[in-house]
């Protein structure tokens, strides 16, 4: 029993004793007992009040703790609701992105079909005009108007083709340059001078071979247009396959020209999926840094992008920030310094910037630019060999160029590297094996 219970029992006993003393008229004892009873009652009252206050304080503490717990739970539920709302908004964003992607695919497909149709019409027109130009019988009287009409038709068709082929990338600029050169030559061939028109012969093949030259030019231009159409179709198909592999958070930088084209980037995406690297090194930053950043983000990989140009490095970092990829891709500044390998001088990245690299699974060699010196990218393998993982993959851009072909031949001759996946794009892919280095 508690102390208060014992006090109450004691008070009852004292009351009983007081009653007995009063009956027996034991006045002194009765007075003493009455005082004791009063003292016990006072103690009981004080103890009860203290207990009540203590219980009240305990209840208030419990209520405060309960209130705090409820508030914490409410805050947690609010955070959960906000997260759910964010997921809902993100889901809407993804749905809108997928819808835009489908619309883009449909528009690109329609453009491809229209381009095919225009190029077929153009090719037929060129063939028909060539035939008519070679069968003109009266060049002095009727030949020049016929030629002028043919020229106007050809130039109009070419202009339409160029306007409709706005999607042509700068990587195909050499094709367009050859077509433009052919147009200029065609003008020169069609505008025959007075001495030619005054000639007694009526056979265009005998008038300084102008007719044959025009036909050759037309055939050449038709061939170039067909090739450009084929290349553009490949690039568009590659872009359609590439877009579903990433979910961009901002406007993607354009592919082509100095950057990897769509076909090469699709090839690189396939290498990422097959190799699943954890550490990636890129020599030469830019557009590919952003596209590869999304590929690496899906795999939890890290990319170090080496750049010798400060302005270009800043632009790349700005792009990465807009896409939220700064935690995935690190841009390292490494100015070009003189380097001598064997008896050849090179301009290569400052070795101090690359000294902390190790266990690199994948290397993309897209720098330095070829204009720095001959075989500009050859030092990549000799200078990075110690930092490569045992099963590393080396990817070289612009492999069809002569300097890059020479570098590939030297690498495979001097190092245990095997070339794989040839002909899929302009990228050359080499895989490291366990053989010994053959370099002297």
CATH assignment of the domain containing 374: 3.40.50.150
- Give yes or no: residues 199 and 140 share one domain: yes
Query: Stretch 114-127: mean pLDDT, rounded?
Result: 61
- Give yes or no: residues 299 and 393 share one domain: yes
- Give yes or no: residues 224 and 277 share one domain: no
Residue 148: the pLDDT is 55
Q: Residue 237 — pLDDT band, cuts 50, 70, 90? A: confident
- Give yes or no: residues 140 and 203 share one domain: yes
- Give yes or no: residues 286 and 417 share one domain: yes
Within 8 A by CB and 6+ apart from 226, the residues are: 119, 123
Burial class (CB within 10 angstroms; exposed 0-12, middle 13-18, buried 19+) of 216: middle
In a domain, 67, yes or no: no
Q: Is the pLDDT of residue 223 over 60?
A: yes
- Give yes or no: residues 407 and 260 share one domain: yes
Q: Is the pLDDT of residue 31 over 80?
A: no
Residue 72: the pLDDT is 75
Structural domain containing residue 137: 109-243
- Give yes or no: residues 208 and 177 share one domain: yes
- Give yes or no: residues 281 and 224 share one domain: no
Tell me 436's DSSP state. Answer: P
Q: Where a domain ends, among 223, 243, 263?
A: 243
- Count of domains observed in the chain: 2
Q: Taking the CA atoms of the chain, what radius of gyration do you get in angstroms?
A: 44
In a domain, 58, yes or no: no
Residue 20: the pLDDT is 63
Residue 327: the pLDDT is 96
Query: Stretch 329-341: mean pLDDT, rounded?
Result: 95
How do residues 247-271 score in pLDDT, each as one tens digit? 999 999 988 777 889 999 999 999 9
* Beta strands, E only, 221-335: 279-283, 302-307, 329-333
- State the residue for tokens 């009540």: 52
Q: Residue 212 — pLDDT band, cuts 50, 70, 90? A: low
Q: What percent of the chain lies above the pLDDT cut of 90?
A: 36
147 vs 81: which has the higher pLDDT: 81
- Give yes or no: residues 182 and 311 share one domain: no
How do residues 379-413 score in pLDDT, each as one tens digit? 999 999 999 999 999 999 999 999 999 999 999 99
CATH number for the domain spanning 130: value is 1.20.120.330
- Give yes or no: residues 334 and 376 share one domain: yes
Ramachandran angles phi, psi of 359, nearest 5°: 50, 45
- Give yes or no: residues 292 and 339 share one domain: yes
Within 8 A by CB and 6+ apart from 337, the residues are: 347, 348, 349, 350, 351
pTM, to two decimals: 0.56
The mean pLDDT of the chain is: 75
How do residues 72-103 score in pLDDT, each as one tens digit? 776 776 676 677 666 666 555 566 656 666 66
């Amino acid at each position: 029993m508690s102390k208060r219970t014992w006090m109450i029992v004691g008070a009852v006993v004292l009351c009983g004793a007081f009653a007995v003393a009063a009956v027996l008229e034991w006045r002194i004892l009765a007075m003493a007992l009455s005082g004791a009873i009063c003292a016990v009652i006072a103690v009981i009252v004080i103890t009860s009040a203290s207990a009540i206050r203590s219980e009240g304080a305990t209840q208030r503490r419990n209520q405060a703790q309960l209130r705090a717990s409820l508030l914490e739970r409410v805050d947690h539920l609010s955070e959960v609701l906000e997260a759910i709302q964010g997921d809902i908004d993100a889901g809407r964003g993804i749905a809108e992105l997928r819808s835009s992607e489908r619309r883009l695919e449909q528009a690109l497909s329609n453009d491809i079909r229209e381009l095919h149709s225009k190029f077929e019409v153009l090719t037929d027109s060129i063939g028909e005009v060539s035939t008519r130009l070679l069968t003109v019988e009266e060049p002095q009287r009727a030949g020049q108007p016929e030629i002028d009409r043919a020229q106007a038709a050809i130039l109009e068709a070419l202009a339409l083709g160029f306007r409709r082929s706005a999607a042509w990338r700068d990587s195909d600029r050499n094709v367009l340059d050859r077509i433009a050169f052919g147009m200029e030559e065609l003008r020169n061939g069609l505008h025959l001078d007075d001495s030619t028109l005054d000639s007694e012969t009526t056979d265009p093949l005998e008038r300084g071979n102008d007719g044959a030259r025009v036909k050759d030019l037309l055939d050449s231009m038709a061939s170039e247009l067909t090739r450009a159409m084929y290349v553009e179709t490949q690039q568009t198909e590659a872009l359609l396959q590439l877009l579903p592999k990433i979910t961009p958070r901002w406007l993607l930088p354009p592919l082509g020209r100095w950057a990897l084209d769509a076909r090469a980037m699709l090839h690189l995406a396939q290498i990422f999926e097959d190799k699943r690297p954890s550490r990636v090194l890129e020599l030469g930053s830019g557009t590919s840094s952003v596209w590869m950043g999304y590929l690496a983000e899906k795999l939890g990989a890290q990319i170090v992008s080496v750049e010798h140009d400060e302005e270009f490095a800043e632009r790349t970092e700005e792009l990465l920030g807009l896409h939220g990829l700064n935690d995935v891709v690190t841009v390292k500044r490494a100015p070009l310094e003189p380097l001598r390998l064997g008896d050849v001088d090179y301009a290569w990245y400052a070795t101090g910037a690359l000294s902390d690299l190790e266990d690199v699974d994948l290397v993309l060699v897209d720098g330095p630019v070829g204009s720095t010196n001959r075989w500009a990218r050859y030092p990549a393998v000799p200078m990075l060999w110690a930092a490569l993982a045992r099963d590393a993959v080396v990817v070289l851009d612009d492999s069809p160029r002569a300097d890059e072909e020479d570098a590939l031949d030297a690498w495979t001759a001097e190092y245990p590297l095997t070339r794989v996946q040839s002909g899929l794009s302009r990228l050359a892919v080499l895989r490291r094996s366990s053989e010994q280095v053959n370099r002297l």
